[in-house]
Structure 1
Amino acid sequence: MTLIKSISGIRGTIGGRTNENLTPLDAVKFAAAYGTWLKGYTQKEKLTVVIGRDARISGEMIQNLVVSTLVGLGIDVIDLGLSTTPTVEIAVPLEKADGGIILTASHNPKQWNALKLLNERGEFLDAEQGIKILELAEKEDFEFAEVDELGKVVKNDAYIDIHIDEVLNLTLVDADVIKEKRFKVVVDGVNSTGGIAIPKLLESFGVEVVKLYCEPTGHFPHNPEPLKEHLGDICKKVVEERADFGIVVDPDVDRLAFISNDGEMFGEEYTLVACADYVLGKTKGNTVSNLSSSRALRDVTEKHGGRYEAAAVGEVNVVTKMKAINAIIGGEGNGGIIYPESHYGRDALVGTALFLMLLAERGGTVAELRATYPSYFMSKKKIQLTPDLDVDSLLDAMHKKYKDEKVSTIDGVKIDFPENWVHLRKSNTEPIIRVYTEAKSQTEADDLADMIISEIKEVAKIN
């Protein structure tokens, strides 16, 4: 059982002991810290916070605890109920709210939940703000409102529809163009809120939808991280249904992966590549992804005459870099599309619409589209951490070992070899070291990852 406190929020497993897991007391303490920080940050008499959650089993319990805590601080709450991460992000500025909380553990299994914290723009807090909230939670020095000053709760379950309308109104999205193609698409909503939002969006484009695991029960039918090894059912279903492609999202709908018409993975790294290809073909500009993302985005960006830059891993870091170079699209190679015309947050609904536009205008099959992009293959592996491991020393040792190569240390250690690369970093959400590699073949990528893992274990004396 685990509790991870970070600048981006608090994430943990349900049950167990306080301060070791995400128990009701931990949820209340962290919600109180956020509310207390927000009151000091805004210096306003009356505050409003938007809250939404994914469909995981613990969601209603955690939501009740968080909402009641904010009300106890005298903060008004707009409760979106079952929602998506990008929907909450859009709702915060539309409601002129002072902040937002998304109750989701993203791609983590069902025993996990988390509080993701937003500012008044509907964007994730920066590191300095996150540290202040962690300090407040540690001190537990909270002042709650007296009875006549308690906050109020307003329920609003219309925001998924509002979000869809926002997507339909994007400049580069033309529903009529998509409707003409009469696409057929299989959707795996992993029994969370993507099973509500994605089919609704597709139907607004005249798409025939085949639903797979779209009941928002929170009982995930497979590991909810949208990776190839978890997606055998939809790969099979796309072929059986003779669908144009398949769509897979994670439980909070900020990550997006496609299945090609032949039942093969389009590649979650290529979600951003394809969407950027469409946007850059219409509007000249720059792009950003993180250090763990494919070189393919760089290649496509430069083909369109734009400039590509890499940011440290983490949505807030990508957004900061995007603003700095005025990027017109960006995101993360895990299927996270950030399109500033909509908002500065990863959004599977926006990504779906941009991909449909690309496919409608380009013609051909999804498999044929994938074949037009540079072929890189990625390996994503993990090393489980134990409390006695000094991760910083391990990463420093790897940096020294490869000091003659092109090395970046802005986020862990990334070693750029001429034909491939490896990125080593400690996860912010799990007790692991992530080992990402990319090469010109899957075998090369896997072999490079295995070699690096062996070298790390040798340094750390791990069996």
Structure 2
Amino acid sequence: MTLIKSISGIRGTIGGVAGDTLNPLDIVKFTSAYASFIARRHEGDGHPKVVVGRDARISGEMVRSIVCGTLMGMGFDVVDLGMATTPTTELAVRHHNADGGIIITASHNPKQWNALKLLNADGEFLTAADGAEVLDMAAREAFEYADVDHLGSYTADDDFDSCHIDDVLALQLVNVEAVKDRHFRVCVDAINSVGSIILPRLLDKLGVEYTILNAEPTGQFAHNPEPLEKNLHDIMNKVKEGGYDLGIVVDPDVDRLAFISEDGTMFGEEYTLVSVADYVLSHTPGNTVSNLSSTRALRDVTLHHGGTYHASAVGEVNVTTKMKDVDAVIGGEGNGGVIYPESHYGRDALVGIALFLSLLAERGVSLTQLRSTLPEYYMAKNRIDLTPDTDIDAILDKVKAMYADEQVTDIDGVKIDFADKWVHLRKSNTEPIIRVYSEAATTEEADAIGKEIMQVVEQMV
């Protein structure tokens, strides 16, 4: 069993001993610490306000009740969205003029996991410094509960999905009429979570005919919930055999997005952002951002449209911070996360779906035709297992020095950019391993350059 405390929140497996897993005592402690952090920043009269949303995990109702009760005990007014996507909750923080938000979701992790993801008053994830402050408060138990006359209130807002959908449809580059005229037939894998609630409503508004797989928000995930090819054979076969125009896959909290082409093949998780960016840049040229482990194809597309590409450290808050710094018009992560500032600074599969369908409708192409127009790269992912006493930072410094003649970026591990390929080495925050991501023009080349660097590292150990 595992409990992981990080600057982005707390996550762990359900059940077990206090302090070792995500259990009621730790949920209370970290919710209280977050509330204390938010209270320091609350301005004006009245109680601070926090929005709470959750995905459909089996443990979600248990965690939700503890979180809401703890916030009320801290003197906070709670707006409870019930089952809601991560981007829905982010938007609701701003809509309700709240001081923050808590999303109860372990994203793509299996059903035994859950987590508290923490938002600021802008509906965005806490910065590293703010997250560290919350962890410090939790460690010191530096919080005080309200007396009976100052307890917070509870309000349910169980239809904020409508506001989220309206926000998406109002985006300038979402071409609702063109999508309706295309009469798309799509197959959706909603993984038995909150996507099964909100995606049919979005697709109805877009005039899309659809079939929903795993359509009950029970939290009983039908397969490993990470939207990778190895987990998606059922929908891939369904799309191929059923004559659909495309398949749509989301993770349990609907911030990651992957597509299946009409022939039943993966469009490519990395290419969700690339294709949406190509569409956005064709209408609104500007800068883009993705993290260091994302495909080089975004850089190529950005340059093609006359913009400048920027790389950030891995992690959504790092991407959004960089996007603000360079005034990016589109950005995200290669794991299928699309961040479109015209809507909000958060990964949002609904925004990604609406923009992607608008792209297909306006250009009159299929997914396989669209894929053939984008830069072609292939990625390999490996890892180096080390011992707990290995000085990983020292190893990465040596690698950096060895490849000083190449373009090297060290804002997050070490990334070596060669003329026609790259390798990114990052140490894990939770295990004694180095993750090795590499990309090149073919799978074989990507794997070869990754293993070449791995051999260099292994000789240093």
TM-score (norm 1): 0.96
Report the alpha carbon displacement of residue 428 of structure 1 after superposing the two structures with TM. Answer: 5.1
Measured at CA, do residues 241 and 257 of structure 1 come closer, stay the same or move farther in structure 2, by a change above 3 Å?
same
CA distance in 2, matches of 1:158, 1:394: 51
SS at match of 2:139: helix
Measured at CA, do residues 358 and 454 of structure 1 come closer, stay the same or move farther in structure 2, by a change above 3 Å?
same
2:179 corresponds to: 178
2:339 corresponds to: 338
CA distance in 1, matches of 2:427, 2:51: 31
2:84 corresponds to: 83
CA distance in 2, matches of 1:383, 1:53: 35
Q: Does residue 410 of structure 2 align to residue 445 of structure 1?
A: no
Report the alpha carbon displacement of residue 393 of structure 1 after superposing the two structures with TM. Answer: 2.9
SS at match of 1:274: helix
Q: Residue by residue, what CA displacement relative to the aligned partner does 1:301-320 show, whole Å, maximum 9, x if unpaired?
A: 11111111111111111111
CA distance in 1, matches of 2:338, 2:282: 16
1:294 corresponds to: 295
Q: Residue by residue, what CA displacement relative to the aligned partner does 1:287-307 show, whole Å, maximum 9, x if unpaired?
A: 111111111111111111111
1:32 corresponds to: 32
Report the alpha carbon displacement of residue 448 of structure 1 after superposing the two structures with TM. Answer: 2.6
Q: Residue by residue, what CA displacement relative to the aligned partner does 1:96-128 show, whole Å, maximum 9, x if unpaired?
A: 011001011111111111111111110111111
CA distance in 1, matches of 2:343, 2:124: 12
Report the alpha carbon displacement of residue 459 of structure 1 after superposing the two structures with TM. Answer: 3.5
Comparing 22-31 and 386-395, the one that deviates more: 386-395
Report the alpha carbon displacement of residue 57 of structure 1 after superposing the two structures with TM. Answer: 1.3
Residue 390 of structure 2 contacts residue 432 of structure 2 at CA under 8 Å; is this kept in 1? no
Q: Residue by residue, what CA displacement relative to the aligned partner does 1:145-164 show, whole Å, maximum 9, x if unpaired?
A: 01121111111111112111
Measured at CA, do residues 172 and 393 of structure 1 come closer, stay the same or move farther in structure 2, by a change above 3 Å?
same
Match runs of 1:235-254 below 5 Å:
235-254=236-255
1:105 corresponds to: 106
CA distance in 2, matches of 1:374, 1:168: 29
Match runs of 1:304-315 below 5 Å:
304-315=305-316
Report the alpha carbon displacement of residue 383 of structure 1 after superposing the two structures with TM. Answer: 4.3
CA distance in 2, matches of 1:154, 1:293: 40
SS at match of 1:55: coil
Report the alpha carbon displacement of residue 194 of structure 1 after superposing the two structures with TM. Answer: 1.4
CA distance in 2, matches of 1:287, 1:351: 15
CA distance in 1, matches of 2:211, 2:304: 36
Report the alpha carbon displacement of residue 430 of structure 1 after superposing the two structures with TM. Answer: 7.1
Measured at CA, do residues 73 and 328 of structure 1 come closer, stay the same or move farther in structure 2, by a change above 3 Å?
same
CA distance in 1, matches of 2:10, 2:352: 27
1:208 corresponds to: 209
5+ residue gaps, structure 2, are none
Match runs of 1:155-170 below 5 Å:
155-170=156-171
Report the alpha carbon displacement of residue 94 of structure 1 after superposing the two structures with TM. Answer: 0.5
Root-mean-square deviation (CA, aligned residues, Å) is: 1.6
CA distance in 1, matches of 2:48, 2:264: 49
CA distance in 1, matches of 2:83, 2:386: 34
Q: Which amino acid aligns with 1:134?
A: L
Measured at CA, do residues 374 and 222 of structure 1 come closer, stay the same or move farther in structure 2, by a change above 3 Å?
same
2:199 corresponds to: 198
CA distance in 2, matches of 1:336, 1:429: 23
TM-score (norm 2): 0.96
* Matched pairs, number: 460
Percent of aligned pairs with the same amino acid: 61
CA distance in 2, matches of 1:223, 1:389: 32
1:274 corresponds to: 275
Report the alpha carbon displacement of residue 390 of structure 1 after superposing the two structures with TM. Answer: 3.5
Q: Does residue 133 of structure 2 align to residue 132 of structure 1?
A: yes
1:148 corresponds to: 149
2:22 corresponds to: 22
Q: Which amino acid aligns with 1:314?
A: G
SS at match of 2:26: helix
Q: Post-superposition, which runs of at least 4 consecutive aligned residues in structure 1 deviate over 6 A? A: none
CA distance in 2, matches of 1:117, 1:385: 32
Q: Does residue 412 of structure 2 align to residue 411 of structure 1?
A: yes
Measured at CA, do residues 428 and 214 of structure 1 come closer, stay the same or move farther in structure 2, by a change above 3 Å?
farther
Q: Residue by residue, what CA displacement relative to the aligned partner does 1:36-73 show, whole Å, maximum 9, x if unpaired?
A: 11101225551110000111111111111111111110
Measured at CA, do residues 143 and 230 of structure 1 come closer, stay the same or move farther in structure 2, by a change above 3 Å?
same
